[in-house]
A and B are shown apart, each in its own frame.
Chain A
């Protein structure tokens, strides 16, 4: 072999056994326990980047960028609630528990959402005074664990979200490992300090959709039919789940795709269960349309939403609003490069950190450590979140106006094309430059 050819230059990494895979085998061999982590699915999936908008041209009339109105507000819970929720923007903050997140992070989420006139959501572990205090519109999650669940908080909520599942782990319960069960978290959940807390995956007092209908009636009775009741499902058999949720009496349905973030779940669960957000939306919309309930029962979509284009594409496919988790945390400062050195000390790096369950987050967000938590100023972080929500809204409006729409909810599948056959089939829009929707007749 000639001198200028180095053997190492030609080393070929196996696509099947890449470095991450091999490392996981070694980790498993060392520890004998599956990997638990936070964040959402990291594998590449058909996603909103695979869709494009068809802007206006000869056959469509665009709206003037800054002068012509493009409505962003949306009302949720018009089916039964006496007091539906009016959001100024169609981007809400998804449920993330106090316990998984610090009290300062929860407060910051409330502040940011309130500045923008949108809602935030509690999580497994109950409602904290900080987040109720700082959230003008707060959705109270009703989860299988019922940690911290009490009727006073239920009555303080602006909406109730019955959680059946999450996109990151449809069919799985929550986890909060001992490191994060501090005195305050333990008290709120009535658990001994330092235990590894496993939330149940099934609700304790109802089993099927018929029972759920009665459960929803109970929640309505207790709150005197004032507030909307949402049902949140992880995206799997979305078409059927949505139909059953409507039958059970939901005002709003939240569908969380498999990219959706989590605070702590087995990696194998995050990466291998559920369907992509993109595939779930048309199923949900079809179910609603067949029941004559599209727009009457509102649809919120979450799982991997990062920018205004994602928001606009969700809405074009038929969602009434979206929810964000991971992106909101990043806006607060999660995974920020300024902490790179500290991330390295705990075996990670800025941009890769997903060990939320360990409670050592240098950015002070997914932690209960008082010293780390102090690093997050809830006022400053709340402002950042508001800025980010503002950008999402402006971007979505830009795209809607380009498509000639004076309301984000007027976006429609007809405004979209797909870049790949997979995304065309899942989103049920034509492959770009063709009128071919895989699986549908011409």
Chain B
């Protein structure tokens, strides 16, 4: 295992060392000490490596991750795992706004709560939050799944496309075009698999599914030629 202490080395040096692993992988296990809420830790990785961040991280931790497994043993700031493509990011504490924003693939697990706009514009990733999520979460969610074991804030799934949303607790309000939907067998299966992958012990049948009513997909079909 290779250890980098951010008291002694810069985030730039850390990221460069991690990026170099994409060219030639010399070390599969990495540990980052004393992150002290610094921004952009372990962003842009592109290799099957594991990175354990021992403490809190700032904005865009694990941003645009590909392949790597990154665990933050603390809280994270805005945009954790934003635009992730693949791999896995696990946050042991809470996450601030826009967790997993626009993420295309991979799995983001937040063991605490997530702030506003969790999964905003998500495009295929899966996000599992053990606690609550804030308002405007999954705004314009396009694909993938968002699982919330606690409660959701206002305007969940506003202007939703095709992301599947599962919430166990209450939803303060639904956003435009987001509706509760029937939980069919295929959804129970999907949710069961997601909870398993995330290592979260919950009963899938206790969740409600939300999805797009697809009423905003076209402005007004009758007038299409006039737009």
A221 and B101: CB pair below 8 A? no
State whether the Cβ of A15 lies closer than 8 Å to any Cβ in chain B.
no
| Min CB gap A179→B, angstroms | 7
Encoded as 1 (CB less than 8 Å from any B CB) or 0, chain A from 358 to 392 comes to: 10000000000000000000000000000000000
Encoded as 1 (CB less than 8 Å from any B CB) or 0, chain A from 195 to 208 comes to: 11010100011100
State whether the Cβ of A1 lies closer than 8 Å to any Cβ in chain B.
no
B121 and A200: CB pair below 8 A? yes
B142 and A190: CB pair below 8 A? yes
A204 and B40: CB pair below 8 A? no
- One of A27, A36, A222, A225 near B64 (C-beta < 8 A): A222
- One of B66, B83, B123, B226 near A190 (C-beta < 8 A): B123
B101 and A205: CB pair below 8 A? yes
| Min CB gap B77→A, angstroms | 9
Size class of the contact patch on chain B: 35 or more
Q: Choose among A33, A145, A152, A205 the residue with the greatest number of B CB atoms under 10 Å from its CB.
A: A205
By a CB distance below 8 angstroms, the chain B residues around A146 are 83, 101-102, 121, 123
12 A–B pairs (Cβ distance < 8 Å), ordered by A: A32-B220, A32-B223, A33-B226, A35-B227, A151-B64, A151-B85, A154-B64, A191-B161, A204-B102, A204-B120, A205-B98, A218-B59
By a CB distance below 8 angstroms, the chain B residues around A192 are 161-162, 217
8 Å CB contacts to B: which residues of A122-149?
145-146, 149
By a CB distance below 8 angstroms, the chain B residues around A189 are 142
Which of A97-105, A209-217, A293-301, A324-332 has 4 or more CB atoms under 8 Å from chain B? A209-217
Known: A190-B124, A206-B78. A178 touches B218 (CB 8 A): yes
State whether the Cβ of A357 lies closer than 8 Å to any Cβ in chain B.
yes
By a CB distance below 8 angstroms, the chain A residues around B139 are 204
By a CB distance below 8 angstroms, the chain A residues around B98 are 204-206
A204 and B101: CB pair below 8 A? yes
Residue of B nearest to A198 (CB): B159
Which of B10-18, B126-134, B146-154, B199-207 has 4 or more CB atoms under 8 Å from chain A? B10-18
By a CB distance below 8 angstroms, the chain A residues around B82 are 204-205
State whether the Cβ of B39 lies closer than 8 Å to any Cβ in chain A.
yes
By a CB distance below 8 angstroms, the chain B residues around A151 are 44, 46, 64, 66, 83, 85
| Min CB gap A71→B, angstroms | 35
B117 and A204: CB pair below 8 A? yes
State whether the Cβ of A254 lies closer than 8 Å to any Cβ in chain B.
no
State whether the Cβ of A420 lies closer than 8 Å to any Cβ in chain B.
no
| Min CB gap B16→A, angstroms | 6
State whether the Cβ of A289 lies closer than 8 Å to any Cβ in chain B.
no
Known: A151-B44, A205-B79, A357-B227. A190 touches B63 (CB 8 A): no
Whole-angstrom CA separation of A299 from B87 in the bound complex: 39
By a CB distance below 8 angstroms, the chain A residues around B227 are 33, 35-36, 177, 196, 357-358
State whether the Cβ of B43 lies closer than 8 Å to any Cβ in chain A.
yes
| Min CB gap B50→A, angstroms | 19
State whether the Cβ of B19 lies closer than 8 Å to any Cβ in chain A.
yes
A205 and B120: CB pair below 8 A? yes
A150 and B104: CB pair below 8 A? yes
B79 and A206: CB pair below 8 A? yes
Whole-angstrom CA separation of A195 from B11 in the bound complex: 42
- One of B19, B66, B140, B225 near A358 (C-beta < 8 A): B225
State whether the Cβ of B60 lies closer than 8 Å to any Cβ in chain A.
yes
State whether the Cβ of A224 lies closer than 8 Å to any Cβ in chain B.
yes
By a CB distance below 8 angstroms, the chain B residues around A440 are none
Residue of A nearest to B39 (CB): A214
User: Number of residues in A with C-beta < 8 Å to the partner?
Assistant: 41
Whole-angstrom CA separation of A151 from B104 in the bound complex: 11
- The B interface is mostly helix, strand or loop, or mixed, namely loop
Whole-angstrom CA separation of A205 from B85 in the bound complex: 16
Known: A33-B219, A33-B220, A214-B60. A222 touches B123 (CB 8 A): no
- One of A145, A200, A218, A357 near B60 (C-beta < 8 A): A218
8 Å CB contacts to A: which residues of B88-143?
97-98, 101-102, 104, 117, 120-121, 123-124, 139-140, 142-143
By a CB distance below 8 angstroms, the chain B residues around A222 are 43-44, 63-64
Known: A151-B66, A190-B143, A192-B161. A221 touches B12 (CB 8 A): yes
State whether the Cβ of A31 lies closer than 8 Å to any Cβ in chain B.
yes
Whole-angstrom CA separation of A35 from B219 in the bound complex: 12
By a CB distance below 8 angstroms, the chain B residues around A149 are 83, 102, 104
A214 and B83: CB pair below 8 A? no
Known: A192-B217, A204-B102. A221 touches B226 (CB 8 A): no
Whole-angstrom CA separation of A31 from B222 in the bound complex: 9
| Min CB gap B205→A, angstroms | 28
A200 and B140: CB pair below 8 A? yes
By a CB distance below 8 angstroms, the chain B residues around A178 are 217-218, 224
B78 and A205: CB pair below 8 A? yes
B104 and A190: CB pair below 8 A? yes
By a CB distance below 8 angstroms, the chain A residues around B223 are 31-33
Whole-angstrom CA separation of A146 from B140 in the bound complex: 12
Known: A191-B142, A218-B63. A27 touches B218 (CB 8 A): no
| Min CB gap A389→B, angstroms | 33
| Min CB gap B213→A, angstroms | 13
| Min CB gap B68→A, angstroms | 12
| Min CB gap A194→B, angstroms | 8
- One of B43, B142, B224 near A218 (C-beta < 8 A): B43
- One of A195, A218, A357, A358 near B218 (C-beta < 8 A): A195
- One of B39, B83, B104, B217 near A217 (C-beta < 8 A): B39
Residue of A nearest to B212 (CB): A192
Known: A204-B102, A218-B59. A150 touches B83 (CB 8 A): yes
By a CB distance below 8 angstroms, the chain A residues around B78 are 205-206, 211
Whole-angstrom CA separation of A196 from B40 in the bound complex: 34
Whole-angstrom CA separation of A196 from B227 in the bound complex: 11
Whole-angstrom CA separation of A198 from B218 in the bound complex: 10
Whole-angstrom CA separation of A205 from B117 in the bound complex: 8
Residue of A nearest to B140 (CB): A200
By a CB distance below 8 angstroms, the chain B residues around A198 are 159
